[in-house]
Amino acid sequence: MPTDNVLVSTRGLCKRFKTRVANGKGWQKKTVNAVADVSLDIVAGETLALVGESGCGKTTLGRMLSLFYQPSEGDLAIKGEDVAGLKPKQVKPLRRHVQMIFQDPVSSLNPRHTVEAILTEPLKFFSSDNAQQRREKAVELLEAVGLPERSLRKYPHEFSGGQRQRIVIARALILHPAFVVADEPVSALDVSVQSQILNLLKDLREQFNLTYLFISHDLAVVHHLADRVAVMYLGRIVEVGERDSLFQNPRHPYTQALLSSVPGVVPNKGKIGKILHGDPPSPISPPHGCPFHPRCPLAQDRCRQSMPVLEAADSNGAHQVACHFQEQAAGPAVIKEVVQL
Ligand code: SF4
């Protein structure tokens, strides 16, 4: 468990949404438990990848950490400052330290604004720079993301998908944030440009001293970029550890099933099917006990009765797993090769 130089820290973080569902006679109010009891530390300078199936709560957690959503419960600290219960006015000055890169560059950029207007807008709110200084900073960021100065005069539709994502990245970095949440930043792009954007994100991390939460469902991409990996299932972290430790020795049956879908990675477990059957349960009515038990080939009575908590799976506690039977589930994955991006 990281303890030094922690930039972002959560303890028991939860996010619930109210919703209405049809029950045959009308509508019934329900609560969606999108994120439940997440405790994580993100160390300055690292890339923590957050992986899991669609709808598991990755984006909701990312939006809480980037201060878009207020937590329903729990603690959230950024740079040691408690931000969980702050009012919108108090959150605003903190936004310059935390930025988000969204999945879809088309909807992230205002089509009626030039690139110059898009890049300099945050500086109008968060700096005392004059127009010339704002322009210079915009040019500097364009260069950093590999776009020429003449891009300032153009509109988003004049760029390719990869170039638009470079503009999104430039806008996220113009205030020199410490922490960036990148939510599936390459999944909307052609495969041919994905590797360019991933390498750019890697380079910018060094250049701007960034810390990333990298949200993805693509484990090959995660292997390329992450220092540590957290696996999420039905709103909860079920396994977290150093990238190589988690890829080579996945302890949670869900992680093993996810890894078995990556080309070249074959978890060495006969019990764990290569394909995960069934859909995740609804976060409106999560199953009692371990949320994975309806799909887990190792499930026993204890799994249906009590919720496993994250526990150390190695001697220094860097690798943690939430499974009652992690010893039975443990086994080295055989990594033949991981797709090189
Ligand atoms: Fe499977 Fe039980 Fe472990 Fe949950 S606690 S992952 S159901 S073995």
Residue whose CA lies nearest to ligand 1 atom number 5: 323
* Per-residue confidence (pLDDT) for residue 334, from 0 to 100: 45
* Atom number of ligand 1 nearest to Cα 297: 1
Q: What is the CA(336)–ligand 1 centre distance, in A?
A: 27
Residues pairing with 239 in the sheet: 231, 321
* Atom number of ligand 1 nearest to Cα 252: 6
CA gap 272, 250 in Å, rounded: 12
Residue whose CA lies nearest to ligand 1 atom number 3: 323
> How far, in whole angstroms, is CA 58 from its chain's centroid?
6
CA gap 76, 9 in Å, rounded: 6
* Per-residue confidence (pLDDT) for residue 309, from 0 to 100: 95
Q: What is the CA(321)–ligand 1 centre distance, in A?
A: 10
Residue whose CA lies nearest to ligand 1 atom number 7: 293
* Atom number of ligand 1 nearest to Cα 303: 2
* Atom number of ligand 1 nearest to Cα 324: 5
- Residues with a CB atom less than 6 Å from ligand 1: 252-253, 290, 292-293, 296, 298-299, 303, 308, 323-325
Per-residue pLDDT of the chain (341 residues; tens, 9 = 90+): 556 699 999 999 999 999 988 887 888 898 999 999 999 999 999 999 999 988 899 999 999 999 999 999 999 999 888 999 888 888 888 889 999 998 888 888 999 999 999 999 999 999 999 999 999 999 999 999 999 999 999 999 999 999 999 999 999 999 999 999 999 999 888 888 999 999 999 999 999 999 999 999 888 889 989 999 999 999 999 999 999 999 988 999 999 888 887 766 555 544 444 556 677 888 888 899 999 999 998 899 999 999 999 999 988 889 999 999 987 766 555 444 444 44
Domains along the chain with CATH numbers: 6-43+55-89+221-329 (3.40.50.300)
Q: What is the CA(323)–ligand 1 centre distance, in A?
A: 5
Tell me which amino acid residue 172 is. Answer: A
Q: What is the CA(62)–ligand 1 centre distance, in A?
A: 26
Contact 247, 339 (CB under 8 A): no
* Per-residue confidence (pLDDT) for residue 260, from 0 to 100: 81
* Atom number of ligand 1 nearest to Cα 308: 5
* Per-residue confidence (pLDDT) for residue 106, from 0 to 100: 84
In this structure, are strands 265-267 and 333-335 parallel, antiparallel, or unpaired?
antiparallel
Total count of residues recorded for the chain:
341
* Per-residue confidence (pLDDT) for residue 25, from 0 to 100: 81
Q: What is the CA(308)–ligand 1 centre distance, in A?
A: 8
Q: What is the CA(307)–ligand 1 centre distance, in A?
A: 9
Q: What is the CA(52)–ligand 1 centre distance, in A?
A: 16
Query: How much is the pTM?
Result: 0.91
* Per-residue confidence (pLDDT) for residue 203, from 0 to 100: 96
Question: What is the radius of gyration, based on Cα positions, of the chain?
Answer: 21
Pocket perturbation via mutation, ligand 1, pick of 276, 277, 296, 304 by most ligand atoms within 8 A of CB? 296
* Per-residue confidence (pLDDT) for residue 335, from 0 to 100: 45
* Range list of H helices, the chain: 58-65, 88-91, 105-108, 115-126, 131-144, 161-173, 191-208, 219-225, 243-248, 253-259, 301-305, 326-329
Distances (CA, A) of 242 to 164, 246, 339: 32, 6, 19
Q: What is the CA(8)–ligand 1 centre distance, in A?
A: 29
Strand order in the sheet with 73-78: 27-43, 6-22, 73-78, 81-82
Provide the 3-class DSSP secondary structure of residue 335. Answer: strand
Q: What is the CA(257)–ligand 1 centre distance, in A?
A: 13
